[in-house]
Amino acid sequence: MRILAAGGIGGISAGIAVAALQHVTTTPLILSAEVYETAQHLHQHAAEAIAPVAESLRRTAMTSLSTIVASIGYAFVLLAGMLFAGERITARRAALWGVCAFAATGLAPAIGLAPQLPGAAETDLAGRQLWWVATAATTGTGLYAILRFDDRLAQAFGLFLIIAPHLFTPTPALPESTVPAELAARFAAASLVLQAIAWTLAGALAGMTYCAIAGEKEDAPA
């Protein structure tokens, strides 16, 4: 019950915060990219560039809901991983696990395939998804080996796992992009920052809630 409460409360709280940040960071960039995708000029009247108000509100609500659900998933994944590894759950340690999770699922894949806007040059969907799963899995395993084992051979193998997926990065299937490079770069950077915040905040809030429910202090002995 502690895990369920900590994951739920931490994930929902983090999701709400990240959804609010999305509304003022990545969402405007996506709307601008959609204008380019339909070959319209950015300075056209707002009514021509975006969906009607009702549709815009529905879209924002669905995006926010998916962000909250994802953050809940992040919190449960982190708590489950810490329990499996025998790690004591605190806000600080859960936040550090969140940083590592972001490195595996966000930062490492972005080195080969950055977050993409509508209209950007894309790789084959199935190939992109398969490469992302492989990269996240090998990077996560590699980080675990480096940070949890003292054996140099295990750490060297972990480093190899982190590097290996980038030797097989998919190439774009659609070479031409209608999105300006500056807009694409801003979106990629903002998306990565938001993902880092989501993982770290979900971990920290879940860990804090877990300690509060258990009546433990952050600096209590393991």
Per-residue model confidence as pLDDT tens digits over 118-174? 655 566 777 888 999 999 999 999 999 999 999 999 999 999 999 999 998 877 655
- The rounded percent of the chain whose pLDDT value lies above 90 is 59
pLDDT at 219 over 60: no
What is each CA distance from 220 to 22, 84, 90, 212, in whole angstroms? 36, 20, 9, 12
Residue with tokens 């449960």: 76
Reading phi first (left if > 0) and then psi (alpha if -120 to 50, else beta), residue 137 is in alpha
* Count of C-beta atoms within a 10 Å radius of residue 178: 16
Residue with tokens 């659900």: 69
At 219, phi and psi to the nearest 5? Answer: -100, 15
As a whole number, mean pLDDT of residues 43-49 equals 45
DSSP secondary structure letter of residue 121: -
Average pLDDT, the chain: 84
* Residue 215's pLDDT band (cuts 50, 70, 90): confident
Among 25-29, 39-43, 185-189, which is the least confidently predicted range?
A: 39-43
Q: What is the C-alpha separation between 222 and 219, in angstroms, rounded? A: 9
As a whole number, mean pLDDT of residues 103-109 equals 95
Closest CA to 202 of 108, 75, 26: 75
* Residue 58's pLDDT band (cuts 50, 70, 90): confident
* Residue 51's pLDDT band (cuts 50, 70, 90): very low
In terms of residues, how long is the chain? Answer: 222
Q: What is the C-alpha separation between 201 and 212, in angstroms, rounded? A: 16
List of residues 6+ apart from 149 with CB closer than 8 A: 155, 158
* Residue 48's pLDDT band (cuts 50, 70, 90): very low
- Ranked by mean pLDDT, which of 132-141, 170-179, 208-217 comes out on top? 132-141
Q: What is the C-alpha separation between 219 and 171, in angstroms, rounded? A: 48
More confident residue, 84 or 184: 84
* Count of C-beta atoms within a 10 Å radius of residue 19: 22
Q: What is the C-alpha separation between 30 and 33, in angstroms, rounded? A: 5
List of residues 6+ apart from 177 with CB closer than 8 A: 119, 120, 121, 184
pTM of the entire predicted model: 0.82
List of residues 6+ apart from 181 with CB closer than 8 A: none
Q: What is the C-alpha separation between 107 and 113, in angstroms, rounded? A: 10
Most distant CA pair in the chain, distance: 62
